[in-house]
Amino acid sequence: MTHSFISSKPIPVNERLIMALDLPSIEEAQALVIALGDSVVFYKVGMEIFMCGDYFGFIEWLKQQGKKVFVDLKFFDVPATVGRAIAALSHKGVDLATIHGNDAIMEAAAANKGDLKVLAVTALTSLDRGDLNDLGFDCDVRDLVLSRAKRALAIGCDGIVSSGLEVQMLREALDHKLLVITPGVRPVDNREEDDQKRVVSVESAFQNGADYIVVGRPIRDAQDPRAMAQTIQSQIAQQFLAH
How far is residue 146's CA from residue 168's CA, in Å, rounded to a whole number?
Answer: 11
Is residue 102 classed as helix, strand or coil in its secondary structure?
A: coil
Residues 107/134, Cβ–Cβ less than 8 Å: no
How far is residue 18's CA from residue 114's CA, in Å, rounded to a whole number?
Answer: 22
Element (H, E) at 130: helix 129-135
**Closest C-alpha among 120, 119, 12 to residue 66:** 12
How far is residue 62's CA from residue 136's CA, in Å, rounded to a whole number?
Answer: 39
How far is residue 48's CA from residue 46's CA, in Å, rounded to a whole number?
Answer: 6
Which among 44, 63, 74, 197 is annotated as catalytic?
74
- The reply to whether 74 belongs to the active site is yes
CA separation, residue 27 to residues 47, 62, 184, 238 (Å): 16, 12, 25, 34
How far is residue 222's CA from residue 211's CA, in Å, rounded to a whole number?
Answer: 24
**Closest C-alpha among 237, 194, 189 to residue 216:** 194
Active site residues: 74
